[in-house]
Structure 1
Amino acid sequence: MSTTTSTHPWRRFALTAAVLAGAATSVAAVASPASAVSGLQERGGVSASNSVALKQLSIECPPLQNAIGGTATIVGTTQVRILAAVPSGSGTSGSGFGIVASEQESGTTANWRIEGTVICAPNSSLPGLEYQNAQSAFSSPASLGATATCSPGKRVIGMGGEAWYNNPSDRSQVVLTGIRPNAEGTEVTATGFEDQTGFSGNWRTYATAVCVNPVAGQHPVGAADGFDSDAAKSVAPQCDSDEQVHSLGFDLTGPSGGGAGETHVHRLGKAGPGGVINAVEDADGLSGSWRLRGYAICAN
């Protein structure tokens, strides 16, 4: 695994013209409460609604602001996987939040779209800002993981992850099974799993940790549902009432890890002072038990 400080991890979501035909976006401002990171605001976007198998949505922050997190929701069907949800650092093209989603291998005839937001903050409100990115080996095991670590003395204010493949035609073969902070708030791990039919090609996972000098009340929180065979699950990690969500993550566990590639997240959302994360089994179900955990990065 390698770790680098990079500015545009989500720029690698360059897709074919056919895919981009399903990725038209609209952007609008969304009001946001005050937080320890002053000037925090959100901008929303939505992709085209159709039955294209693979879509991306990139939402940029205003000039002189940086992305620390975002939300991602699939609308129209639950049988579409979020494969990437990644904040990126500033550069000549700005800072933003990138989302990639794919139908599962069996496909769907439903029209669907991505709805998302980017959570932005002014450069001046993010002392010591850095984007630490890590990648796993590019290989073909059943599961892969990468961990991005903050520089000493800094803490995670945002996080992201991606399950990546060489060709868009491989989009249905892997599942993003986790974007999770450690308890100390110093690193972010992203995990992926091949789907239940396996995958002979090479793929990898990427993790992104958005790090800053510690701010008031900055800490990760988590919530988990029961370890059972329910077909759909929802968890709501909650910040305190005087805190604000700065970023969201999740973790899927189950037989052979990651729900054996047979479960996926289709919503990373916000609700009040917390998050709402939803996941389901794939179209033909999962015979074993599995668990969904959700995470939020909170600050006063």
Structure 2
Amino acid sequence: MTARDVDRFEADGRRLFGLAYRLLGRAAEAEEVLRDAYPRWTGRADAAEPEVGPTTLVTSLCLDRLTSARDGRERYPGPWLPEPVFTADDALGPLETAERRHSVSFGLLVLLERCAPAERAAFVLREAFGHSHREIAGILNVGEDDSRQLHRRALAHVGESRTRSAVPPEEARQLVERFLAATVTGDVAGLEALLAAEAVAWSDDGGRASTVRHPVRGRAEVARMLAGLGRHPRAAHSQVAVSPVNGQAAVVVHQGGELTAVLVPEFARRGLVAVRTVSDPEKLRFAARQLV
């Protein structure tokens, strides 16, 4: 291992973090993977291709974690959602295109939970990072035909997400600001005007609080639930703002200077189709550190 290889690993840290996060859905775990990968990579004696080598190592470590985490996620108390990441500073890499924003969106990361670990890896490597099937085969230690099959299986799981009409970022931000105003004022009619008929709301608190443990479905039901949040006594002591999270405009909630919740609305052309709220303190730690 040469000093040049070490420098390349360090310079490539943001891309590798973005890869690990997309594979795991957990920013804190992605950091741990990079900490584990660095000494292993710098201690290698082979002359692996500089870019593919670290990618292979990070992917392998993530696959190990995904395999061991499956049972725990199946037993998770309530809906499982990814950890939010503030992306104004390109923490997950440049997100200047709709495809790149989609690759870190809550909607896609939730759908990727349906995939087997190797399927998820094939999808992320192909769709988010543009690797060829020959490269993916080498990274996953499978044949090229196997890589294509893994990718096809993943596409079948996330097909619903890929068919939705994207809303341009500026328009999405305006819609989120309207959503926030209607929620804060408890405006049920205003919320219903924004929501699609099939809207769904999920809340992930890690089993620590009394939030809704099951999805709330339907325009009227979701509107009433959100309006209730705006009328809750604690809402009067909350500070709310719209910030870019996972490549999309989201509502960020602070109480007493502490980050307490992130609400990620998902808009399609037909209206607001999903609201995902993360209030699990452990899942907010990385995002809270980003704000310091």
**Relative to total residues, which structure has the larger strand share, 1 or 2?**
1
Instruction: Establish whether TM, by shorter chain, passes 0.5.
Output: no
Report the TM-score when normalising by structure 2: 0.26
**Higher percent of residues as helix:** 2
Relative to the length of structure 1, the TM-score reads 0.26
